[in-house]
Amino acid sequence: MQHIHLSKKNLLIIVFCNITLIEILIFAVAFSVSNHQPIIRIVDKNNQVLNASQARTFSIFKIYLFEKKYGALENYHIDIEKKETVFPFRTWFFAAFCIPIAFVFVIAFILKRFIK
């Protein structure tokens, strides 16, 4: 097996850049979850919700399924409501802490195994 020779400085730079990239990706995922999510609700004449969907639009297939079950869509009232989801701080904090540490452990194992 061929061994790779890297200086400690280059190795630290590579690990630091990878951890920073992972942290940015974790933050982006957590931030994308926390926003105003539209909810399309279809309500009948008795103000009973027949269908609620988290989407910006109602697809043709969903309209077909709704009309097959309840009848023509024109007979119902369509509400669009915004659901606000807060930033998941605890989830982000623990993911931002645990994932890079696991990454460092994996890198350390690989380096210990293949670099002398």
User: Where exactly are the structural domains of the chain?
Assistant: 1-35+87-111, 36-84
Strands (DSSP E) found in the chain: 36-43, 49-54, 77-84
For 88-105, write each residue's pLDDT tens digit: 788 888 888 887 788 778
Q: Is the separation of the CB atoms in 51 and 66 below 8 Å?
A: yes
Identify the helix (H) or strand (E) that includes residue 32: helix 8-33
User: Which residue has better confidence, 34 or 98?
Assistant: 98
Query: What is the structure's pLDDT at 13?
Result: 85
Query: What is the structure's pLDDT at 4?
Result: 64
Q: Is the pLDDT of residue 1 over 70?
A: no
Q: How far is CA 5 from the centre of its chain?
A: 38
Query: What is the structure's pLDDT at 57?
Result: 73
Instruction: Output the average pLDDT for the chain.
Output: 80
